[in-house]
Amino acid sequence: MAQRTRTERADRIRHLLETEGEAIHAHASASNARRYETYGATDDLEALRTEARSIKEDAIGRLPDLIETVREAVEANGGTVYLADDAADANAYVADVVESRTDANGTTEDGDTPSVVKSKSMTTEEIDLNEGLETEGIAVTETDLGEWVLQVADDTPSHIVGPAMHISRPEIADLFNERFDPDEPFETAEELTRFARDHLGEHIREADVGITGANFVVADSGTITLITNEGNARKCAVTPDTHVAIAGVEKLIPTLSDLEPFVDIIAKSATGQPISQYVTMLSPPTDSPTLDFDSPDEPITGDDDGAADGSGAADGTGDPDREFHLVLLDNGRMNMREDDQLRETLYCIRCGACSNSCANFQSVGGHGFGGETYSGGIATGWEAGVHGQESAAEFNDLCTGCSRCVDACPVKIDIPWINTVVRDRVNRSGESESYDFLVDGLTPDEETGGIDLGKRFFGNIGTVAKAASATAPVSNWLADVGPVRRLLERTLGIDHRRDLPSFQRESLVDWFEGRGGFATSKRRAAEPRVQRGGAAVSSRRAERAGTRDGDTGLDREVVLYPDVYTNYVDVDRGKAAVRTLEALGVPVRVPDLPESGRAALSQGMIATADRQASRLYAALAEDLDAGRDVVVIEPSDLAAVHREYERLLPEGSVERLRTNSYEICEYVYGLLENGADPSALSTGDGAEPVAYHSHCQQRTLDLEAPTVAVLERCGYAPETSSAECCGMAGSFGYKREYYELSMDVGERLASEVEGAETVVASGTSCGDQLETLLDREVPHPIELLAPGGYRA
Amino acid sequence: MTVDTVGRFERALEGLEVGLERVAAADATERIETIVAEPAVGSPLPFDGVSLPGEVTTEPTTAELEAARTGVTPVGFAIAEYGSVAVESTADGAEPISLYPERHVAVVAASDVVPDLSAGFDRLADGFDRGRDSVVFATGRSATADMGDLVHGVHGPGDVRVIVLEDR
Ligand code: SF4
């Protein structure tokens, strides 16, 4: 599949926003909300997730052994195991099974078409089984209602759990009325469901073979686990005399007890239900009698005495009329297992929680955010592994790295990292572009040629910002004129509708030096505060206080990290942070520090990020040695240090950085908890409402709560937003092809907070997005809290 | 933790809109009779002194299975925490009988109601050891939202009743 151009991509996204967006949003966000609720009500959720992950780690680690174990178990039960290399291999095997069974049952002699009923399975979608069987003259009917709707509509799944999520009820009614021409047109979900049940029931009763997927396969007992709400998988598995289960090799888990945490968590993550309606554990061939609806007068328990005594053939051979085949699919999985970066993908239990929690997915669905088969955040890993990089590249950019899926994933897969890795690999496979020279001068990166220019530009935003700041306000004025905007759009893909950041001539670092650097800060921090309603204190008392280090029992020094935006664009929030810390008695340093690597990571430039991470660590080592705390304002930079650095730096370095670095409001919270006096700050009257949008990565780091707590301690009544993301997520919203999507996501957030008099946001891009949509100032919480307030 | 496991089971079922009745074994047949809608099929109940009402057909033909409005089956155990019943795949057809008819009547001994999923897995493991290795945890009624709204009774029963035998 050739990559779409920017314009084609923009058109496609616009089209999906218009046609499928509404239905997807309604369903995905409802599942997401139920997941929050159920996760919240599960006491041991973290333990459960940790356990689930470690079982998967172990199982994938010894996958070759488990394949042999399950082969022995299934054969001992009387079934067959087939290990299929790829799609063609799997399809041919299944077609063979169907043909030999229908031959044996005499169906083909009657001239009938062999028929198969199937329950929902992404793995069979992956190998295009239906097409494979149909070309062999086998009729296939999907029995999951969502899948069946797609089959009737000749459409593809847009969500791994709710495949027809993008089609609304009226659309289904229209489709069915046209196709089946009922006496009374269908209208309600109830009518449609009844019709589907009767229609599909007939197919199931008449089918020669039932095909299912498997959510899990217990290796040592050969047990297939099928998890559904409708009950169709049970019917497909037990009604025909032959059952074929198709599962990726990664579905194997060692023992029955390993199944428990998954049964406990899969419905919670998928739909927010405590447990699914039917958790079916079959060790086929089962003892259940086969159901031959062609012989209506035969007792179902048959004439076989051995099987009819109700004892359930505990010899493990099941009903003698039954046949069972387990097809284990490789199709790239064994290679993924060898790939240190993609391996984690194999832990995925396909619950779809990552899709539901993704703001972009909620807007465009899996037809925009998916490859040939899989969709949503984790689709990148799956598609890269089973269909190749090109299929993954198509939609990989739709992951903004916001990391909201990280907390959603029941097996703790670092989905954004997989997206970053694939982006990096896709970057490296590209062709050099003709505008390279434009960016070359600005980009001190270590990336090889061929990478998208826009990516290189945003990945090196620190250098760009430095140059722009040095030439401000000329650079700002220049960036705003038509021809330059058009050039930026054409070469770098920066949408002309988006306001560009306005660079400040004086950076935070320069301002701080200009006011006397650390010495001044130390003096200011030592000054006793002007009490509310009190008089200014004399300079003598101030001096005295200056000698009493740790007046409030706080004996700390802060290195405030001047991230690119704080340093060159949003300098005010940096100043506010300095004033706040000093007011609470903590002296501050603002050294000129290297970039964190966040910008490069967002563009999939891992080599650049790696180098930047090492530089930043080196630059901070002395401060860490001296016991200083590192305080970060921009949450995405803090997230780089706390989350991604473990992929880039030695363990010990990461640990040191992690334990000594804080988000600004988290740090203020700590100071207040340790006795600092909030009245030194700009406080509210106790009930002043404030709408607060935390930041995606900040929420993933559990840092929303400290900001809320600080606002409350300082006399505000914060109300937090529930929208997953602001839609900007760094450079994403600047890009022409994503501008509309970014605004669609942003509007959901904006409509939540627009009624509030004061709106604050922790991230630069969140603030920018909200300022555009609300057309008013949206400061950082620290600006609200700083002595003098943000309007001062 | 509550000691009243059956009570907890009952509350979980209430949330799933599944009725639960507690009866003594001696009254069970009569109670089942009042809640089966005919025609009814069933698989034999393995509890001493409890038998299926006369109008419930055991060893049904496929035609009888298809026509049945009620299926009565014993269940191996139940999980109070989630309101799940464990239906085993037996040669007398408990699995299809619990699945095909619109109403499923599940009969369980009070002593077989276990508190949580973990205890359920212990029971499951015991069963596996004895060769009962095909089981479904059925929780509430078959459901789908694929047609645009939540509808019950799709491929499985839309009406489930649970009978708890208190003296077993
Ligand atoms: S990556 Fe995690 S959240 Fe996403 S589908 Fe897989 S298991 Fe579920």
pLDDT digits (tens, 9 = 90+) for B75-91: 999 999 999 999 999 99
Q: What is the pLDDT of residue A734?
A: 83
Reported confidence tier of residue A440, pLDDT bands at 50, 70, 90: low
Single-letter code of the amino acid located at B136: V
Tell me the C-alpha distance between A669 and B78, whole Å.
Answer: 48
What pLDDT does residue A546 have? 41
Interacting residues of B57 by C-beta distance below 8 A, sequence separation 6+: B39, B40, B41, B42, B64, B68
Amino acid at B60: P
In sequence order, what are the beta bridge partners of A691?
A719, A759
Q: What is the pTM of this model?
A: 0.91
Give the pLDDT confidence score for residue A296 in this predicted structure. 87
Tokens for B16, please give them. Answer: 């799933």
Q: CA–CA separation, A474 vs A470, rounded Å? A: 9
Model pLDDT, residue A544: 41
Predicted confidence (pLDDT) at residue A88 exceeds the cutoff of 70: yes
B-chain residues within 8 Å CB-CB of A289? 91-93, 96
A761-789 burial, b at 16+ Cβ within 10 Å, e below that, comes to: bbbbbbbbbbbbbbeeebbbbbbbbbbee
The residue among A614, A764, A612, A773 whose CA lies nearest residue A697 is A764
> A256: closest CA among A228, A285, A222, A280?
A222
Distances (CA, A) of A592 to A507, A545, A564, A621: 10, 29, 10, 14
Report which ligand 1 atom has the smallest distance to the Cα of A381: 1
- Here the tokens at position A711 are 């606002």
Q: Quote the distance between the C-alpha of residue A552 and its chain's center.
A: 43
Confidence of residue A5 (pLDDT cuts 50, 70, 90): confident
**pLDDT band of A309, cuts 50, 70, 90:** very low
The per-residue pLDDT for A657 is 96
Chain B residue numbers touching A27 (CB-CB < 8 A):
145
Length in residues, chain A: 792
Among A262, A198, A228, smallest CA distance to B140 is for A228
On whether the CB atoms of residues A348 and A413 are closer than 8 A, the answer is: yes
Query: pLDDT (tens digit, 9 = 90+) per residue, B87-145?
Result: 999 999 999 999 999 999 999 999 999 999 999 999 999 999 998 999 999 999 999 98
The reported pLDDT for the residue numbered A8 is 87
Q: Does B74 touch chain A (CB under 8 A)?
A: no
| pLDDT (0 to 100) of residue A321 | 82
Give yes or no for a contact between A379 and A309, defined as CB atoms under 8 angstroms apart: no
Pairing, β A139-142 against β A115-118: parallel
Q: Are strands B40-42 and B56-58 parallel, antiparallel or unpaired?
A: parallel
CA distances from A10 to A337, A368, A420 (A): 35, 11, 22
Cα radius of gyration rounded to whole Å, chain B: 15
> What is the count of residue pairs from A and B with beta carbons less than 8 Å apart?
213
In percent, how much of chain A has pLDDT > 70? 87
The pLDDT of residue A533 is 39
Q: What is the mean pLDDT of residues A49-68?
A: 98
pLDDT category of residue A789 using cuts at 50, 70 and 90 = confident
Q: Is B143 on the interface with A (CB under 8 A)?
A: yes
Distance in angstroms between the alpha carbons of the first and the last residue of chain B: 23
- The predicted model gives A399-407 an average pLDDT of 94
When comparing pLDDT for A9 and A15, which is higher?
A: A15
Token readout for A460 is 């090196």
Q: Which regions of A296-372 does DSSP assign to beta strands (E)?
A: 323-329
pLDDT tens digits, one per residue of A495-528: 878 877 777 889 999 999 999 999 999 999 998 7
From residue A483, give the alpha-carbon distance in Å to each of A145, A472, A480, A487: 53, 18, 9, 6
Beta bridge partners of B103: B70, B159
In sequence order, which ranges of A554-663 are alpha helices (DSSP H)?
564, 571-583, 598-602, 606-625, 635-642, 651-660
**Contact residues on chain B for A215, CB-CB shorter than 8 A:** none
Contact status, residue A367 vs residue A20, Cβ threshold 8 Å: yes
Average pLDDT estimate for B155-167: 95
> What value does the mean pLDDT take over residues B16-22?
96
Percent of chain B, pLDDT > 70? 98
Residue range A228-281, pLDDT digits in tens:
999 999 999 999 999 999 999 999 999 999 999 999 999 999 999 999 999 999
Q: Of ligand 1's atoms, which has the minimum distance to the CA of residue A355?
A: 4
Q: What is the mean pLDDT of residues A122-128?
A: 96
Q: Which helix (H) or strand (E) holds A689?
A: strand A688-693
* Pairwise CB contact (< 8 Å): A205 & B150: no
The pLDDT tens digits for A23-44 are 999 999 999 999 999 999 999 9
Percent of chain A scored above 90 by pLDDT? 71
What is the pLDDT at residue A791?
Answer: 59
pLDDT band (50, 70, 90) for residue A476: low
Per-residue pLDDT band for A317 (boundaries 50, 70, 90) equals low
User: Which residues are registered as beta bridge partners of A630?
Assistant: A559, A661
A525-546 pLDDT per residue, tens: 998 765 443 334 444 444 444 4
Ligand 1 pocket mutation, candidates A39, A268, A269, A419, criterion most atoms within 8 A of CB: A269
Residue A230, burial from CB neighbour count under 10 angstroms (0-12, 13-18, 19+) = buried
Q: Mean pLDDT over all residues of chain A? A: 88
Interface test with B, best of A287, A309, A319, A321 (most B CBs within 10 A): A287
The pLDDT score that the predictor gives to residue A493 is: 75
Residue B3 has a pLDDT of 63
Calculate the average pLDDT of chain B: 94
Instruction: Quote the CA–CA distance of A166 and A175 in Å, as a whole number.
Output: 14
Instruction: Identify whether A285 is preceded by a cis peptide bond (ω within 30 of 0).
Output: yes
Neighbours of A717 (CB within 10 A): 13
The residue contributing the CA closest to ligand 1 atom 6 is: A348
The residue-averaged pLDDT of A393-417 equals 94
A280/B142 Cβ within 8 A:
no
Residue (of A569, A562, A664, A692) closest to A616 by Cα position = A562
User: How many Å separate Cα A391 from the centre of its chain?
Assistant: 18
| pLDDT number for residue A685 | 85
CA separation (Å) from A213 to A241, A262, A329? 17, 16, 11
> Is the C-beta atom of A415 inside 6 A of ligand 1?
yes
Any CB–CB contact under 8 A between B125 and chain A? Answer: yes
Whether A195 contacts A57, CB under 8 Å: no
A84, amino acid identity = A
Atom 4 (ligand 1) nearest CA:
A354
What is the whole-number distance in angstroms between the Cα of residue A344 and the centre of ligand 1? 10
